[in-house]
Structure 1
Amino acid sequence: MKHLLLVVTALFFLNSCASKKEVLYLQDIDTHGVGTIDYQSATIQPNDILKITVESLSPEAALPYNRSVAQGNMPRDLELMRLDGYVVSLNNTISMPVLGELSTRNKTTRELEEFISNKLISGGHLTDARVDVRLINAKVTILGEVNKPGTFTYTEQNMTLLQALGLAGDLTINGERKDILMTREVDGVRKVTHIDLTSAEFMNSEYYFIKPNDLIVVNPNNPKVKSSGFIGNVGTVATVISLVLSITILLTR
């Protein structure tokens, strides 16, 4: 009976343990992690909020093309910047002072900068226009087996998947590192991919850098799934062991 108790306890712990290969990140980084980084700029999407600043050697000449005279070098609260920003319509357009409605379709922030600058110069508005466009409401949602699930706003132009997971406090020990689910919506099309964080191969893919509105889901690993089922907690384990012992006593009488 004593040996049976030890066997049951051992089986429980073996069933709930994750192996080293299931836990460590980027195990083959020496062979797959070396290479040229392909920085990617996301195209502007509907509901994006853009901060657009037009500058000139003559500050007064650029004022009519800025939404607020408060724009400039003064530090501003991010929430105030969003309220004063340009919201991209569902038709992929924004409306700027003087210039009117402009299309943002299939353009990155850099391409929109060039487009507005050329329009200002070719239209005779400014001879030395300098335009800065920033996306100020980029966000990523991270759910599942992470320490701080939620939706996170960021202002970096390029943020990696690992940096995004860092915002969520990293995966818990129960997170499935070999099958991170990511959904991405671009121009009305949803893409779904699965990423193995134990391998560095994803660092050479289009999913190394996240894009605004990405959804990242970390599912529980097999030990977590198993432990949340038949053997979910210490109380359940005690009940199972007690039941086994009771049956054993009855059978050995």
Structure 2
Amino acid sequence: MRLLFFLLLTIFSCSTKKDILLIQDSNSTTNYDFEYKEIKIQPDDILRIKISSKTVDLTSLYKPDNTNLRQAGNILSYQIEGYLVDPNGFVNIPGLEPVLVKNLSLNEAVIKIQNLLEKEAVLTNGKVDIKFLNNYFTVLGEVKNPGKYSFLENNMNIFQALGMAGDMTINGKRDDIKIISENGGKMIVNSIDLTSSKLLESGSFQILPGDIIIINANTARVKNAGIVGNFGNLLSALSFILSSIILITNN
């Protein structure tokens, strides 16, 4: 009886090579065209704004204050100075009036702040570097370590995101991954296929801040869950069948 159970379990749990391999229709010489979207600064973003100069010591001037750190909250985990973009899209930089950075890319914000520093004679020939400090995505389902992950990179793609979550388990459904994104106050659900090279030229290849990645279980995993979850019922049914067979045989 136990042998029969494990035989059934093996049959239902079989995964083929086609179910597991990624980018199956590509070869090593194929080139794909893809361009990352520029992420725009929004209210409540936390920015690292590093301002430096070869001729002037600005360490004390641009050292973050405790108020800014308290407002930023999770910025403490990065141990990097942060500037919180207020609800109106302004950021407060010492020596300048509040700077409107809402809907600017990081490069656009760098140029704007550099120009303002020179215009206000705060700094000449200065260098400004800006990074997002509150970018994150969430991975749920069939991965080794589901959860919420922060990232400092300007660009993130689906393979990097899954790598941070410890990769998919063998039970993950690779040809129908759901990505939930927020756009203009609306939630949008896209499906991507990790087994197809078309993904590499798709807009969904890029993971945007706040995205939720859902890895559903494949058919084998779902069937296994049904069998294991109803082990008691299955065992009872098999016992009844075997008892009936023995009874009929003896008669």
Match of 1:167 in 2: 164
Which SS does the other structure have where 2:115 is aligned? Answer: helix
1:25-53 deviations in Å (ceiling 9; x for gaps): 11012399622341333222333211102
Letter in 2 for 1:161: I
Question: Which amino acid in structure 1 is aligned with residue 119 of structure 2?
Answer: S
Q: Does 1:219 align with 2:226?
A: no
**Structure 2 CA distance for partners of 1:66 and 1:157, relative to 1, 3 Å:** same
CA distance in 2, matches of 1:212, 1:176: 23
Q: 1:137 to 1:90 in 2, by over 3 A?
A: same
2:79 maps to a residue whose letter is L
- Equivalent residue number for residue 198 of structure 1: 195
Letter aligned with residue 34 of structure 1: N
Whether 1:147 and 2:141 are equivalent positions in the alignment is no
Alignment of 1:76-115 (within 5 A): 79-81=78-80, 84-115=81-112
1:237 to 1:131, Cα distance in 2 relative to 1, 3 A: same
CA distance in 2, matches of 1:211, 1:16: 34
TM-score, scaled to structure 1 = 0.80
Q: CA deviation at 1:180?
A: 0.9
CA distance in 2, matches of 1:34, 1:139: 29
Specify which structure has the higher proportion of strand.
1
Conservation of the 8 A alpha-carbon contact between 1:45 and 1:186 = no
Contact persistence 2:90–2:100 (CA under 8 A) = yes
CA distance 1:13–1:103, change in 2 (3 Å): same
Pick aligned residue for 1:135 from 132, 137, 141: 132
Confirm or deny that 1:176 pairs with 2:155. Answer: no
Letter of the 1:101 partner, please give it.
P
Normalized against structure 2, the TM-score is what? 0.81
2-structure distance, mates of 1:100, 1:186: 30
The DSSP-based 3-state class of the residue aligned with 2:182 is strand
Identical aligned residues as a percent:
36
Q: Partner residue of 1:121?
A: 118
Q: Which amino acid aligns with 1:38?
A: E
Hey, what does 1:59 align to over in structure 2? 56
Task: Identify unmatched segments of 5+ residues in structure 1.
Answer: 70-76
Cα deviation for residue 233 of structure 1 reads 7.1
Match of 2:204 among 182, 187, 207: 207
Answer with 152-161 or 19-28: which moved more.
Answer: 152-161
Let me know the Cα RMSD of the aligned residues.
2.9
d(CA) in 2 for partners of 1:250 and 1:90?
77
Aligned length: 239
Instruction: Return 5+ residue gaps in structure 2 as ranges.
Output: 66-75
Q: 1:239 to 1:175 in 2, by over 3 A?
A: farther
Other structure's SS at 1:176 match:
coil
Q: Provide the rounded CA distance (Å) in 1 between the counterparts of 2:210 and 2:52.
A: 30
Give the distance between the partners of 1:167 and 1:236, measured in 2 at CA: 39
Which digits, 9 at most, give the CA deviation of each residue in 1:178-234, with x for residues without a partner? 111111224534322111111121111122222222211111111111221245376
Name the counterpart of 1:43.
40
